[in-house]
Amino acid sequence: MARGKREMPISLRGCSLRGLVALVTSVLLVTSQFAVAGVNKPPAAEEIAVYKAFMVYFAARTPNAQVSDVTAMLSVPLADHCLHGIKLEKTDAAAKDIHTLPQEIISATDRFKLVTIRPGSRHSEGLVGLLQLSEIGFDARHQYAVLNYDFHCGALCGEGATVVFKKLGGSWKHIRSCGNWIS
């Protein structure tokens, strides 16, 4: 023990097994929340419908891809030039929330595959043809939906864009895309 410092030994004497289990469980729950910071429950049904509409749009232009099962944050500044008067609500939530995407956003085809990407990892390492989708921003009436995507098809191959959908007759239809980057 260092001179002048008193260490307080931890004693489990008198602690019940139930109390110890409760303590360990609490510590594990708290630390597991930080292990996947920001990742929460699957998207809502309306968001899933928009992701499905995006996949139809994307499939018409790209033969195949591996789709990251974790969304990225919506970059509102990147999307701004594509909005043309659409005012998004709750952009702060879309700019910080992250969801785990369900398999149902992918149609029954072998052209696309949902892959697990760990938060904070370098997702493009070893994955050619990786598509990452952002969170979705909606206008106040939920008539418009906006998302960003990044598609990495190789070391010097890829693109990213903002995509705008409009709800028409109960379905989400692609109305415009604005390129953010290309390589």
Mean pLDDT score of the chain, rounded to an integer?
78
* pLDDT, tens digit, 9 for 90 and up, residues 74-101: 987 877 889 998 999 877 777 777 889 9
* pLDDT, tens digit, 9 for 90 and up, residues 46-56: 999 999 999 99
Reply yes or no on whether the pLDDT at 18 is more than 50: no
* pLDDT, tens digit, 9 for 90 and up, residues 136-164: 999 999 999 999 999 998 888 899 999 99
Full-model pTM? 0.74
Residue 64 carries which side chain, given as an amino acid letter? N
End-to-end C-alpha distance for the chain, whole angstroms: 60
CA dihedral sign, ordered 162, 171, 138, 132: negative
Contacts of 44 (CB under 8 A, 6+ apart): none
31 or 69, which is more confident: 69
